[in-house]
Structure 1
Amino acid sequence: MARVLASVVGVAALTFTLIVPAAQARPAPSAAAAIVEDQMSSGFDRELRRRIAAAQAYAESRPGVTGVVVRDRRTGAVWRNANAATHAWGCSVPKLAMAVDLLLRNDSGAVRLTDEDRRLIHLMLNSSDNDAATTLWNRYGGEDFATRFPSYGMTDMRFTDEHPHTWGWILTTPDDLDRLMNHVLGKLPAAHRDYLVGELRAVDPNQQWGVWGAGPAAAPGNKNGWADDNDDGSWIMNSVGFVGPEERFSVAIMSNTQVVENGFEVGKETTTKISAILFQGYFR
């Protein structure tokens, strides 16, 4: 396997092994509906409960494995589907954790960010610029970054001995991404929160999929990550973000296409359609 991150803006070409649950027989429709109900905590309205069931049915119809977490930050309701704890490569999504870490370390005086550093933070959030992320990773501690990521919610994350310990080779879960986004939205100082929300709402067109599929009325923001498996052509497609007034809902989606043709487009469609089913037309 190749073990080198591609230094291409917005694309991380990786080889990897996805950790997935053993294959299981798909339950009958009535049983599937009951499972979705069991995965939801109280606090979702009837309309969103219907949409969640439809999103899960769609996810099950798609190639591969897709994990989803939706959180209502107002009521505390959470939907975690059966793959929410499944590990896969984080690809470019850990760049958001890097930005959190750099802003907080600058506050504490542990580092002093320059104007150039802030430009690089913008690039890795806006267009998922790999060169910007790698420069900051090497400049401000390398693997040491990841020792603080659990403090921002990424308690499932880990490196492997088979791959370099760098931002693109972090195994993580939808649960991790949900906690990371809620750390950004609920625990950061207001100035940092507002900055990151603004960045994620104004991403480059190459990031306008996944959670972005909620549509303009939902005022979405997201950080996406994607990578191809050079061995078989399948893709990992990740999207974490927020939708709604005052960023009411957080959404985390990780999908491994497990297909050998057009994996990028398949995964992009899967993650975007899930968000559309959940939230397009929900906000009026």
Structure 2
Amino acid sequence: MAARDLTTGLSYSYGKSLRTATASIVKVDIVIALLLQAQREERGLTSAEKALAERTITVSDNDAATALWHSIGGADGLASANRKLGLRDTEPGPGESWGSTTTSAADQIRLLAALTSRKSPLHSASRRYLRHLMRNVTPEQAWGVSAAGSDAEVKNGWLPRERHGGAWTVNSIGIVRQDGHTFLLAAVSERDSTMQSGVQAIEHIAETVTAALARASRDT
């Protein structure tokens, strides 16, 4: 788990050494790579690219994500984008296995920072566009770190893994606002016995950490 309070500058991290499969949270990274590619070519997204990006984020459509994965140049394209974003711990998945990309919670905070910082390689219009998609994730997929606030932009990932005997990898990243604070939150987990147990753990820790960060800012 990693968290950053953009309002106060306070941060928190736990389990720094964990590197786990992204599952579908990598779809945010894929769309960022697409937006950086379009910026480099000095153009906006085509209508077809917008349709794919919308399905990739709002309903977590795997076919749309695969199409964009090919469009950005697969693992090499993602790695190139991640160098621009300053990611350190993210290794793109092989072939078409974008969901097998591995990452850390800290890198996911760096990814979210690219959606909120004026120093981001993403133009302001690109940042607003992707955050709009994350704000409009279909309700049944809007669980996870969004539990920490009443206003959230979120993307989640969930995947049972054979290498862990069918246990679940459950991840959630997002930008959450609550009580005058804006938080960047990233929770990654693996070996959960069920998807629901992973979701419940993420929601509990997101609520606990944000409350502690807000309380710490009042006490200083």
1:211 paired with 2:145, answer yes
Which of the two has greater helix per residue? Answer: 2
Q: Which residue of the partner structure matches residue 175 of structure 2?
A: 242
Q: Which residue of the partner structure matches residue 45 of structure 1?
A: none
1:256, distance to aligned residue in structure 2 (A)? 1.3
The verdict on how the C-alpha distance between 1:111 and 1:250 changes in structure 2, with shifts beyond 3 A counting, is same
1:153, distance to aligned residue in structure 2 (A)? 3.4
Bigger Rg, structure 1 or 2: 1
CA contact (8 A) 1:159 1:165 kept: no
The verdict on how the C-alpha distance between 1:195 and 1:228 changes in structure 2, with shifts beyond 3 A counting, is same
Counterparts of 1:1-284 in structure 2, within 5 Å, are 68-81=1-14, 83-109=15-41, 113-148=45-80, 149-159=82-92, 164=95, 166-186=97-117, 187=120, 188-216=122-150, 219-230=151-162, 232-244=165-177, 248-259=182-193, 263-279=194-210
CA contact (8 A) 1:209 1:271 kept: no
Cα distance between partner residues in 2 of 1:141 and 1:169: 16
1:206, distance to aligned residue in structure 2 (A)? 3.2
> Cα RMSD (Å) of the superposition?
2.3
The verdict on how the C-alpha distance between 1:152 and 1:207 changes in structure 2, with shifts beyond 3 A counting, is farther
Number of matched residues?
Answer: 207
> SS in structure 1 opposite 2:88?
coil
Q: Under a length normalisation based on structure 1, what TM-score does the superposition of the two structures give?
A: 0.66
Cα distance between partner residues in 2 of 1:95 and 1:159: 12
2:130 aligned partner, one-letter code:
L
CA contact (8 A) 1:127 1:206 kept: no
1:275, distance to aligned residue in structure 2 (A)? 1.9
Which of the two has greater strand per residue? Answer: 2
Q: Under a length normalisation based on structure 2, what TM-score does the superposition of the two structures give?
A: 0.84
1:171, distance to aligned residue in structure 2 (A)? 1.1
CA contact (8 A) 2:92 2:98 kept: no
1:204, distance to aligned residue in structure 2 (A)? 0.7
Which consecutive aligned stretches of 4+ in structure 1 deviate over 4 angstroms post-superposition?
Answer: none
1:274, distance to aligned residue in structure 2 (A)? 1.7
Q: Percent identity?
A: 29
Cα distance between partner residues in 2 of 1:111 and 1:135: 19
CA contact (8 A) 2:20 2:102 kept: yes
CA contact (8 A) 1:257 1:266 kept: no
1:213, distance to aligned residue in structure 2 (A)? 1.0
Structure 2: give runs of 5+ residues left out of the alignment. Answer: 216-220
